[in-house]
């Protein structure tokens, strides 16, 4: 899942965006939060292939925490991911839930429905441009950080994360992110953070 905010943690108003368009878009950072196993699998039959409480907590922390306590992060997710969240936990609390779908007719209660990633980013930051591909964030002009939980096993999956392009992304140390290997339900996993290389 993706979540985004401006560098200062604050979405900008639509009017302000028009005046400082380039500045604002350059400051948008999309953070991608994903857990993938050795064979890059992330999902199976519309669900997560594993149950890792610590990773769920990590996802919650990283998507909920804001610099400004009066602001919230926007979490952008595909329709299948949204409806894979148990009903009692959706929409995700204390986050602005933005759902990508071309087919849904209306937004589920207390969520926003968008037709493209750019529309999602525009909604979260107050811009108005539309574009059309969710697979783009890792290659896009958005400044993108990836929080990658590596599940150290080969697991049968039907949904996969793309190969990380090492020319585009570099692993970074992040003092808030633990470096040790954890074990839950017989699975070892560790947290990694990648930042987009600035060319």
Q: Which two tokens stand for residue 89?
A: 């936990």
Neighbouring-strand partners of residue 188: 183
Q: Which two tokens stand for residue 20?
A: 């400082």
Near ligand NAP in 107-126, by CB under 6 A: 115-117
Please say which residue, 78 or 108, places its beta carbon nearer to ligand NAP: 78
> Segment contacting ligand NAP (CB under 6 A): 5-13, 22-30, 74-82, 105-113?
74-82
Cβ pair 35, 56 in contact under 8 A:
no
Cβ pair 195, 169 in contact under 8 A:
yes
Per-residue binding letters, 137-176, with ligand NAP (x by CB under 6 A):
----------------------x-----------------
List the one residue from 134, 164, 177, 187 that touches ligand NAP (CB under 6 A).
134
116-152 residues labelled b (16+ CB within 10 A) or e (exposed): bbbbbbbbbbbbeeeeeeeeebbebebbbbbbbbbbe
User: Smallest distance from the beta carbon of 145 to ligand NAP, in angstroms?
Assistant: 15
Which spans of this chain sit near ligand NAP (rule: CB under 6 A)?
A: 1, 34-35, 42-44, 46-48, 77-81, 84, 100-104, 115-117, 132-134, 159
């Amino acid at each position: 899942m993706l979540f985004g905010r401006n560098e200062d943690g604050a979405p900008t108003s639509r009017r302000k965006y028009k005046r400082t368009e380039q500045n604002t878009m350059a400051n948008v950072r999309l953070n991608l939060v994903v857990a993938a196993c050795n064979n890059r699998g992330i999902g199976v039959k519309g669900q997560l292939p594993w149950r890792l409480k610590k990773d769920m907590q990590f996802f919650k922390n990283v998507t909920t925490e804001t610099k400004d306590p009066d602001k919230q992060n926007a979490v952008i997710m595909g329709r299948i991911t949204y409806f894979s969240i148990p009903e009692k936990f959706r929409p995700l609390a204390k986050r602005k839930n933005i759902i990508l779908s071309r087919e849904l007719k209306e937004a589920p209660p207390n969520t926003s429905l968008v037709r493209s990633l750019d529309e999602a980013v525009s909604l979260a930051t107050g811009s108005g441009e539309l574009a059309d591909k969710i697979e783009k964030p890792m290659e896009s002009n958005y400044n993108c950080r990836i929080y990658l939980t590596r599940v150290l096993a080969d697991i049968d999956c039907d949904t996969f994360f793309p190969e990380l392009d090492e020319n585009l992304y570099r692993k970074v140390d992040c003092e808030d992110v633990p470096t040790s290997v954890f074990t839950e339900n017989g699975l070892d996993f560790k947290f990694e953070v990648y930042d987009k290389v600035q060319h």
